[in-house]
Amino acid sequence: MEYLGDIPDILYKYRDWSDNYHKKVITENQLFLSPRKRFNDPFDSSIPYRYDDSELTPENIFLKLREIEKKINPSLPEADLINRCYEIQKNDHFTSGAYWKDNYEKYINDIDVRFGILSLTTKLDNLLMWSHYTNSHKGYCIGFDKKVLFELIGGTLGRINYNQKMPYIPLFDNTGLGANNILFTKSTDWEYEDEYRIIKHFAADKIYVFPNEAVKEVILGMKLTEQEKDDILNIVRSKYLNAKFYESTMDLSEFKLNIIPIL
């Protein structure tokens, strides 16, 4: 697990206690890998393909078109395939970006089918995330052991790259770097989330059941009722024997949350 050395040991997930699906994280140890279409950021994992102009030589464009069209129409005779590629190239359809615009809907639908994504964060006390993802502090935050989680799910675990500009991807890509650039890049507007994510091929809408030892921390939201806090604690204390438990409270001198141990 040395290749996870630059990733924090505990990664967090915010959940809304009033949402029955969110409850299942602790009641049934379920984690859901979401497709792109369920995200609140319309740009997330939906970035159009953009190539560096220096790579777009006539020869490279033809080879790229042949690669793509061969995948789209594998039974097309070679002569027809070549004619089709020349026709697209002659119309400047590829270099103008029109080729990708015409195929954009199919492209993002393919991403929905092919990739399941689990979003996590290093932040357990972020005001905006408590507000957005726990129904205004009426939920909880659960901290997972990165190694246990990654051994369970697999795929790729990494930090989001926050950028003001959409990334370029390699014209010829056999390494998966292009897909990673798209799936791991978000606008700097989201940088406050400090997101890490697990991306798994062909795992969209898939549920993983994690072992109890995956849970290291549970933090209760400040606007949960006392009964709701008791309900959550009764569940997590009976299952996650090695976890630590906290509650968030409002600091009275600064705009921040205090994370207080529950003994």
* Residue 111 binned pLDDT confidence (cut-offs 50, 70, 90): confident
Mean pLDDT of 134-140: 98
Among 21-25, 101-105, 142-146, whose mean pLDDT is lowest?
Answer: 101-105
Instruction: Please determine, for residue 173, whether its predicted confidence score (pLDDT) is greater than 80.
Output: no
**Residue 124: pLDDT above 90?**
yes
Position 131 scores a pLDDT of: 97
Give the mean pLDDT of 120-128: 97
CA-nearest of 38, 67, 37, 36 to 51 is 67
Please say if the pLDDT value at position 175 is more than 60. no
Note whether 101 and 69 are same-domain residues: yes
| Same-domain pairing of 212 and 106 | no
Asked if residue 142 belongs to a domain, the reply is yes
Cα 211 from Cα 240, distance rounded (Å): 9
**Assigned domain for 80 exists:** yes
Among residues of the chain, what percentage have pLDDT more than 90? 59
Predicted local distance difference test score (pLDDT) of residue 177: 58
**Final residue of a structural domain among 112, 131, 146:** 112
Q: Are residues 173 and 248 in the same domain?
A: yes
Q: Quick one: pLDDT band at residue 1, thresholds 50, 70, 90?
A: very low
- Residue 107 CA to residue 101 CA, distance in Å, equals 10
| 129 and 188 assigned to the same domain | yes
Lowest mean pLDDT among 102-111, 131-140, 146-155, 204-213: 102-111
pLDDT of residue 178: 62
Residue 74 corresponds to which tokens in the numbers above?
């594998």
Are residues 162 and 132 both part of a single domain? yes
* CA atoms lying within 13 Å on the CB side of residue 53: 1
Instruction: Flag whether 43 is in a domain.
Output: no
Q: Residues 252-258: what's their mean pLDDT?
A: 96
Distance CA 104, CA 236 (A): 44
For residue 45, being part of any structural domain is answered with no
What is the overall mean pLDDT for the chain? Answer: 89
Amino acid 149: pLDDT: 96
pLDDT at 3: 58
Digit-coded pLDDT (tens) for 204-254: 999 999 999 999 999 999 999 999 999 999 999 999 999 999 999 999 999
| Domain presence at residue 40 | no
For residue 145, give the amino acid letter. D
Under a CB-based contact definition with an 8 Å cutoff, are residues 155 and 89 in contact?
Answer: no
The domain of 6 spans 2-35+119-261
The last residue of one of the domains, among 80, 96, 112, is 112
Residue 48 lies in a domain: no
Q: Of the ranges 2-6, 79-83, 131-135, 235-239, which one carries the lowest mean pLDDT score?
A: 2-6
Average pLDDT of span 5-9 = 91
- Six-digit token pair at 243? 């976890």
Three-state helix/strand/coil letters over the chain: CHHHCCCCCEEEEEEECCCHHHHHHHHCCEEEEECHHHCCCCCCCCCCCCCCHHHCCHHHHHHHHHHHHHHHCCCCCHHHHHHHHHHHHHCCCCCCCHHHHHCHHHHHHHHHHHEEEEEEECCCCCHHHHHHHCCCCCEEEEEEEHHHHHHHHCCEEEECEEECCCCCCCCCCCCCHHHHHHHCEEEHHHHHHCEEEEEEECCCCEEEECCHHHEEEEEECCCCCHHHHHHHHHHHHHHCCCCEEEEEEECCCCCCEEEEECC
Do 100 and 126 reside in the same domain of the chain?
no
In a domain, 62, yes or no: yes
Same domain, 225 and 136: yes
Question: What domain count does the chain have?
Answer: 2
